[in-house]
Structure 1
Amino acid sequence: MSEQQAHHQVLVIGGGNGGISVAARLRRSGVDDIAIVEPREQHLYKPLFSHVAGGTARAGITVRSQREVMPKGVEWIQDAVTAVQPDANAVLLESGERITFDQLIVCPGIQLDWGRVPGLAEAMQTPAAASHYEFELAQKASLLLRDLKEGTVIFTQPDGPASCAGAAQKPMYQACDYWRATGVLDRIRVVMVVPTETAFLAPFDRELERKIEEYGIELRTRSVLLRVDSATQEVVIGGPDGPEHLHYDVLNVEPPQSAPDWLKASVLPAPGASGGFVEVDPRTLRHPRFPHVWALGDAAATTNSKCGGALRKQTWVLARNLSRVLRGKEPKARYDGYAVCPFTVSRSTVVWAEFDDAGKQKPTIPFFRRMYRESRLSWVFDRHVLPWVYWNLILTGRV
């Protein structure tokens, strides 16, 4: 690569939802020298993974080629970042290449830490365990849940930061609805393990708890998965009353998560902060110590719940602010902490949970607060409308 090719006005780390859509917004605002560093050949629409696991979507509709979604006029550097040097305005790549930049946007997403729970990674190689947090494992989960006729199935949500943590529950509700329809629900013991005090957040707990009672789900609050023994198909759950040993016939896990290792090792996280996420002003999304560095999405140390639904507003704010900075002005746009988690509580209904970084309801349509109630219309929007909006409007920077 020539010296001219090795420098960009704006360099984006990560070609997922955040990286593609913020680059598209910047292109539409007139920025013409943008590059995205992304090693993967395929782009995944992950919100549908829970539908794949729940049997209401085909895996094929969640994936497109990375080249197909790359914004026109944006260079794709198909490589992986190994280090960031903000003092030198440079990043190092796995290939040994060094790329310099004027402005850097960090949005590589979050990594799945399978090794943090003893036995968990090994369990994923066995016939009885899966996860809807990876493409292949979501397809495996779909078959396991569909074919189960009796026994114990355990769903788990990890402690600590996680991308759309509440999504751990989505395939569970869909599976319960299916088992009820096929007449086997009363022969299946369903256990849901969550680290929180309640099922989710106060404004939405009533709806979720109603479905939990309706399906006969055993909810373990303030609890986490401690260990998996795949040979005996047993898990150890840590809860307020001490460890609990449970046998499983099917185990569906949302794995522990953290910032990418190279990001943890960089100077971008706040000194002494845990997690390794990029330090940012949670409203402007600009780094307080390195003003030429920005971050959004799961890799940013914002105050909102980590989820794909937060990215639409974050990319709008960041693109507006960065465009102003490139014109010599101060950033003015503010991110309001918005997040959303559409809970698929059956195979045809959704509880639409929109909230801010204080855990309070924040409906997109303020006068329609009943959106948080179980709704068939919300399911249609989540399952059919949003995927079209994602591929055609969000990734192109239009909404």
Structure 2
Amino acid sequence: MLRKQITGKYSVSGQISLDDVNTLAESGITLIISNRPDNEEEGQLAFADIAAAAKEKNIKAVHIPFSAGQMQSSDIEAFKEATKGSENIHAFCRTGKRASLIWEAANESSQKAKVNSVHFDVVIVGAGTAGISTAASLLKRKPNVTICLIDPASDHFYQPGWTLVGGGVFSAEKTRRNMADVIPKGVKWIKEAVDTFQPSDNKVTLGNGQEVTYQFLVVAAGIKLNWDAVEGLSETLGRNGVTSNYRYDLAPYTWELAQKLNTGKAIFTQPPMPIKCAGAPQKAMYLSCDHWFKQETLSNIDISFYNAGGVLFGVSEYVPALESYIKKYQIGTHFSHNLVKVDGPNKRAYFETKDGNDQAVIVEAEFDMLHVCPSQTAPDFIRNSPLVDAAGWVDVDKETLQHTSFSNIWSLGDVANSPNAKTMAAVRKQAPVVAQNISDSIEKRQINAIYDGYGSCPLTVEVGKIVLAEFAYGGVVMPTFPKWINDGSKATRLAWILKKDILPPFYWHGMLKGHEWFVKPKMRK
């Protein structure tokens, strides 16, 4: 037992054994608290056995179990009651972290200062595209509702524009605004991070200890780019020819590398799903290839696309158009190859795949330019919350976007587990649905607004042309415009104009302002 002394009278540790009970008794412990649920892992010693051993040593034992990230106010109150008047206390869980956190929450001497709680009708966690759009759409319906946006970020980004930054079309600064400038008027912005959720108490606790209570909660916390999932990647990003359009500060480096490369090897990667904007890794590749094609250096560059998936694009109707550009740019495709390691100084990339005997093998590839799309997960504070499914995404009904367990909670955008493509276009359809359903809930009406899974991916195959893929749940093609305006079977100039000239101002001045052009929510029949 590795024992950590929090104060002179309170210590914590990981799981204890019966022998540890004897050791604690010898050290003068009078109260043992377990913050670990029974059967949390195979072979775990039951609390009843520990309590029996403690009783033989005249030690009181109390069980206040909760899973990681799911501490409730009732747990804190039980802890306060159990420790009242007690001296020489030892608490344990699997690692000691929960035992430390509950002590912090229960004591005024905690490192987090006690801050008075505040209440709002609607609390929205995340001030990205999903959070702000939902707030704006809700205010259009309910101007008097009190809304709070919680997000520690100072900047707001139009992330779909980063592909064009990496292709030399946009400047990076064109995709950024001050967060304060895009928060809807009448919405309170709390510039803090969320620490924990207590859905049974209609409350979230912030990183500074402040408690924010709500009538309704919207979780729009986005997605985490897991750069560290690939060995050596974080250390070499932005140098040694390694770049990614998935970061604001790196997209300009993509264009710099494309301009400088006249001969050599260029590799573009795509990790396992889910990722936001599944077409973005290919867009970076096509725009770089278009530059080399126009500079007449394409034949001097060996271009490879390493995809952890098994197909070029998930909706088959759009694959022929993309394959024509794969052929035009002479791109070598490698499916079922997942990037696992990067050696930047020596310009080597390592991919895990399977050989002919279905055995895992590592394949090494040299590069002069490497564009990486990182693997992606829900943010840590979401994955450790009581709101998620087994995979760590917020668990919602895929149509209403209402939480499956907590009826006053909704989620949308990249963090929700609805089986749609994680794109801005999906959020554009989702935000009005959530706003309408919350508005109906406020009025105690039955919720009827539904999301059909719509998403779109403007696949930028060259400067001036785009294959505009639009689809709903199940990969069903769902075009917004008639075929004479946009034919998804081929790249078009009109789709390029939409992407480059129409969508950015539409985003800043329409979507973030609550204008629901072309996206009025569908209603159940």
Aligned to 1:266: 385
Q: Tell me, yes or no, if structure 1 residue 12 matches structure 2 residue 131.
A: no
Q: Aligned pair 1:346/2:465, yes or no?
A: no
Contact 2:120 2:147 in 1 (8 A): yes
CA RMSD of aligned residues (A): 1.4
Map of 2:257 onto structure 1: 144
How many Å apart are 1:127 and its aligned residue? 3.1
- Number of the residue aligned with 2:152: 39
Match of 1:388 among 490, 505, 508: 505
- Give the paired residue count: 395
Q: Within 5 Å, which residues of 2 pair with 1:272-287? A: 273-274=390-391, 276-287=392-403
SS of residue paired to 2:426: helix
| Deviation (angstroms), 1:224 | 1.2
Identify which of 195, 205, 216 aligns with 2:319.
205
Q: Does the aligned pair in 2 maintain the 1:14–1:38 contact within 8 Å?
A: yes
Secondary structure of the 2:364 match is strand
What code does the residue aligned with 2:126 have?
A: G
- Pairing 1:273-312 to 2, within 5 Å after superposition: 273-274=390-391, 276-312=392-428
2:442 is aligned to 326
User: d(CA) in 2 for partners of 1:324 and 1:180?
Assistant: 54
Instruction: Evaluate the alpha carbon distance shift between residue 236 and residue 65 of structure 1 in structure 2; reply closer, same or farther with a 3 A threshold.
Output: same
Q: Which residue of structure 1 lines up, in the alignment, with residue 141 of structure 2?
A: 29
Give the drift of 1:269: 0.8
Which of 220, 223, 238 is the matching residue for 2:334?
220
The aligned counterpart of 2:491 is 374
The aligned amino acid for 2:464 is S
Displacement of 1:195 in angstroms is: 2.2
Classify the secondary structure of the residue corresponding to 1:280: coil
Query: Secondary structure at the residue paired with 1:220?
Result: strand
Q: Residue deviations 1:87-135, cap 9 Å, x none? A: 1111111122111111000001000111111111112153311111110
Query: Bigger shift: 66-75 or 218-227?
Result: 218-227
8 Å Cα contact 1:152/1:247 also seen in 2:
yes
Q: CA deviation at 1:2?
A: 7.7
Is the Cα–Cα contact under 8 Å of residues 203 and 360 in structure 1 kept in the other structure?
A: no
Cα distance in 1 for residues equivalent to 2:354 and 2:162: 31
Q: More relative contact order in 1 or in 2 (CA 8 Å, sep 6+)?
A: 1
Give the TM-score normalised by structure 2: 0.73
Larger mean Cα displacement after TM superposition, 42-51 or 114-123 = 114-123
Task: Give the match for residue 118 of structure 1.
Answer: 231
Moved more, 192-201 or 172-181: 192-201
> What's the secondary structure of 1:257's corresponding residue?
strand
Q: How far apart, CA to CA, are the structure 1 residues paired with 2:461 and 2:377?
A: 27
Distance 2:195 2:343 in 1: 34
CA contact (8 A) 1:371 1:378 kept: no
Kindly report which structure 2 residues correspond to 1:229-244, keeping only aligned pairs within 5 A, or say none.
229-241=343-355, 242-244=361-363
The CA distance in 1 between the partners of 2:273 and 2:503, in whole Å, is 28
**CA shift at 1:239, angstroms?**
2.9
Tell me the amino acid that sits aligned with residue 317 of structure 2.
P
Tell me the CA shift for residue 197 of structure 1.
Answer: 2.1
Any conservation in 2 of the 1:192–1:219 contact (CA below 8 Å)? yes
Task: Note the C-alpha offset of 1:158.
Answer: 0.8
| More divergent stretch after superposition (232-241 vs 81-90) | 232-241
Query: Any conservation in 2 of the 1:35–1:77 contact (CA below 8 Å)?
Result: yes
Q: Distance in 2 between matches of 1:202 and 1:157?
A: 18
Post-superposition, which runs of at least 4 consecutive aligned residues in structure 1 deviate over 3 A? Answer: 366-369
Amino acid across the alignment from 1:77:
I
Letter in structure 1 aligned against 2:487? R
**Matched residue of 1:165: which SS?**
coil
SS in 1 for 2:204: strand
> Hey, what does 2:281 align to over in structure 1?
168
Partners of 1:97 and 1:252 lie apart in 2 by 41
Amino acid at match of 2:505: W
Q: Counterpart amino acid of 1:344? A: T
Check the 8 A contact 1:49/1:133 in 2, yes or no.
yes
Larger-gyration structure (1/2) = 2
- How far 1:144 sits from its partner (Å)? 1.1
Moved more, 92-101 or 107-116: 92-101
Report how far residue 366 of structure 1 moved. 5.4
From the superposition, tell whether residues 325 and 18 of structure 1 become closer, same or farther in structure 2 (CA, over 3 Å).
same
Percent identical residues: 36
Letter in 2 for 1:289: S
2:196 alignment partner, SS class: strand
Say which SS state the counterpart of residue 211 (structure 1) adopts: helix
Task: Read off the aligned partner of 2:477 and give its amino acid letter.
Answer: Q
What amino acid is the match of 2:194? V
